[in-house]
Structure 1
Amino acid sequence: MQIRNSSNDIKILKNPTTASLPRGTGGRSSFNGKVCTIFGCTGFLGKYIISPLAKTGTQIIIPHCGNNYEAARLKVNGDLGQIIFLPMDLRDEDVIRNSVKYSNVVINLIGRNWETKNYTYKDVHVDGAARIARICKESGVERLIHFSHLNASPQPKPIFKEGGSKVLKAKYYGEQAVKREFPNVTIIRPSLIYGSGDEFMQAYCYSRWRRVMNNLLLYKMGKECIKMPIHGKDVGIGVAACVEDPNTAGKTYQFVGEHAFILYDLMTWLIKKTNIHHKHINHVVVDSKYFFFYYTYLKILESMPGAPISRLCTECYEMDNTSDTVRPELPMLEDLGIKQANFEAMAEFEIKYYNRFAIQMVANRFNPYLPIPESVNDYNF
């Protein structure tokens, strides 16, 4: 069955039934004709990807593993019946095939910054990504969007670990594997993504595990590391633009922030805004080489069962201290016609509630006998 879309191009319906036809007046209560399966949606980035898609009437299928309640919170992003949840195992091809058989768009967000007893980096970033791409091709999926990393490379520059980051290396080979299975794939290489519940800025702002003797430890104090953070909302809007524009198929996009920051300056700004420094305790950024036991400290934390505490492991530390590198020959987020949000305004909003005076004020609501800090009036909440 063939229909004509708004651009006067002929579109072949994958499932020629009345349920496949766009209907409604637009918005989250309508159906725009797209069914999108999003793998790895229960992570930090998932809510930012779902929101711009669901509000335009895209039906979304979310395969998930683990606790059902981690996925259930995403249900409010779409209208009733527009978001469907399916249990999934990355090694089970039948489950993956069942997840994509009704979809014309598939987005793969699956990634892991540490290895577990069940999955290695190769299992997740290479074999799993290739498996999803192959099944999508066999199932007749029209568009595949695969998330990689801005610094993905076959030989990443070593910062803290010998041989460099294993995640960045696995991300690169995952890109190559996906291209072999699905040549028309759209690859997105994001830089550091921040937002509500992110694993970088808020981890440094709040976690006491990240501070050793009241110091934030960075490689060479972070003065040789460049970061170009981008908000998760902008990433989600960029993904929605890729879904809507068929000309993005087969291209690799770099999603980076408008401004480049030295990591030392970024961390100093975070300390100032969250005010974790105290008149008796001065939190500063120091060079990790002066703490010879820090590598052992990371190894001990990552050897504990479960996920590393506050992402404290050798691999995450390596990636945190790796500079963002942009390739000029690849298109950027701005090439999709998207204007990014202001970093300082958005980041300050996200970390506002990590200000120690704000935490004290929340505590005072439950205990009126606690004194209010003297300088609390100097801050706007």
Structure 2
Amino acid sequence: MLRDEIITVFGGSGFVGRHVVRALAKAGYRVRVASRRPHLAQDLRVMGVVGQVQLIQANLRVPSSVERALDGASGVVNLVGVLNENGRQTFSRLHALGAKTIAEAAAGMGISRMIQVSAIGASTESESRYARSKAEGEASVLAAIPEATILRPSIIFGTEDGFFNRFGAMARFVPALPLFGGGQTKFQPVFAGDVAKAVLAAFERSEARGETYELGGPGTYTFEALMKFILDEIDRPRFLLPLPWAIGSVIATVSEIVGALPLMPVVITRDQLIQLRSDNVVADGAKGLADLGIAGETVEAIVPSYLERYRRYGQFHEREA
């Protein structure tokens, strides 16, 4: 049964956004997906009954389009974010100014429920521009809407993720995978579907108002352990090469230069290398998935289903004894 409430989701056409739209639609909400290119997100319409999921064009640099996307909504989710800067798509413009634009527009229209999806490690004191911009976005949202809920996920995994897929694809062509700083940085990967459940729970639980939750999955792994897991799943033996941070910085610089060329992927940026220096896990005493009633899926239960594409003969490849 459809509810009367409309929830506007900015960034709903992205990797995590698709999970969020599906979760909200399944719960009966009317979902309005605000996107710069709505014509590329038509598949989202089938995530609900006819007319339940609406697509609308919006650009965070155009406040009037943001207001149009929020018109009549009772809640808003901000998922807009990038891992790499590209042209006008900068951390400051999207994570900080973009969040501020959405929150202030929502507050001006009387919307008191907002879910801001940030990231573990967000801090104004961080050396990482990504982490600082995420913290600035959080501050702007809470200044405009004190009852907003902040969700800070660790690295997010799922079929279209940019972590397991990146290194799985890389392992097809290179003889070794890098372990920056020795590969001992810790991560607590969280399933995209669980992030979506957290968004839904944050809307429906009154105790979530004004709270911050750090979202990490059931397992904690070092970067090295995750690389070994990937190589084992795709059955491609590769050497794991420990690299000092200084060498990593040179590689990141070259990667950024090469990545500026057409059709060339960025392996790692200098800002991402800075982030790798700090563990990406839920802080002691922080509220997390369990506080939202979510158990959390494991890496082992989900990731193998989509890493098989990187095996030499795909899903039909039998592992060597």
TM-score (norm 2): 0.92
* 1:297 aligned partner, one-letter code: V
Distance 1:140-1:39 versus aligned 2 partners, 3 A rule: same
Q: Where do 1:185-200 residues align within 5 Å?
A: 185-200=148-163
Give the drift of 1:326: 2.6
Q: Secondary structure of the equivalent of 1:286?
A: strand
Distance in structure 1 (CA, Å) of the matches to 2:111 and 2:257: 44
Give the drift of 1:40: 0.8
CA deviations 1:243-296 (Å, max 9, x no partner) are 11122110001111111111101111110111122xxxxx12212336785234
Identity across matched positions, percent: 25
2:137 corresponds in structure 1 to 174
Q: Secondary structure of the equivalent of 1:309?
A: coil
Q: Where do 1:331-346 residues align within 5 Å?
A: 331-346=287-302
Query: Once superposed, what is the RMSD of the aligned Cα atoms?
Result: 2.2
Give the drift of 1:136: 0.4
1:304 corresponds in structure 2 to 261
1:253 corresponds in structure 2 to 213
Distance in structure 2 (CA, Å) of the matches to 1:291 and 1:314: 8
Q: Is the 8 A contact 2:252 2:273 kept in 1?
A: no
* 1:340 aligned partner, one-letter code: G
1:95 matched to 2:65: yes
Larger mean CA deviation between 170-179 and 324-333 belongs to: 324-333
1:235 corresponds in structure 2 to 195
Larger RCO of the pair (alpha carbons < 8 Å, separation 6+): 2
CA deviations 1:338-359 (Å, max 9, x no partner) are 1112331212223222222326
1:85 matched to 2:55: yes
Give the drift of 1:173: 1.4
Q: Is the 8 A contact 2:38 2:57 kept in 1?
A: no
Q: Secondary structure of the equivalent of 2:182?
A: helix
Q: Where do 1:12-23 residues align within 5 Å?
A: none
CA deviations 1:90-141 (Å, max 9, x no partner) are 1111111111121101000011222232233211111110111011001111
Larger mean CA deviation between 308-317 and 243-252 belongs to: 308-317
1:266 matched to 2:206: no
Aligned length: 318
2:313 corresponds in structure 1 to 357
2:180 pairs with one of 219, 224, 231: 219
1:287 matched to 2:242: yes
Distance in structure 2 (CA, Å) of the matches to 1:292 and 1:33: 52
Distance in structure 2 (CA, Å) of the matches to 1:237 and 1:74: 17
Distance 1:291-1:258 versus aligned 2 partners, 3 A rule: closer
Give the drift of 1:235: 1.1
Distance in structure 2 (CA, Å) of the matches to 1:321 and 1:41: 30
1:149 corresponds in structure 2 to 119
Q: Is the 8 A contact 1:106 1:144 kept in 2?
A: yes
Distance in structure 1 (CA, Å) of the matches to 2:319 and 2:163: 27
Q: Which one has a bigger Cα radius of gyration?
A: 1
What stretches of structure 1 of length at least 5 have no aligned partner? 1-29, 157-163, 278-282, 362-375
Q: Secondary structure of the equivalent of 2:303?
A: helix
2:12 corresponds in structure 1 to 41
Distance in structure 2 (CA, Å) of the matches to 1:322 and 1:84: 40
What stretches of structure 2 of length at least 5 have no aligned partner? none
Q: Is the 8 A contact 1:113 1:315 kept in 2?
A: no
Give the drift of 1:324: 1.1
1:58 pairs with one of 17, 29, 48: 29
Distance 1:37-1:292 versus aligned 2 partners, 3 A rule: closer
1:183 corresponds in structure 2 to 146
1:369 corresponds in structure 2 to none
Distance 1:321-1:292 versus aligned 2 partners, 3 A rule: closer
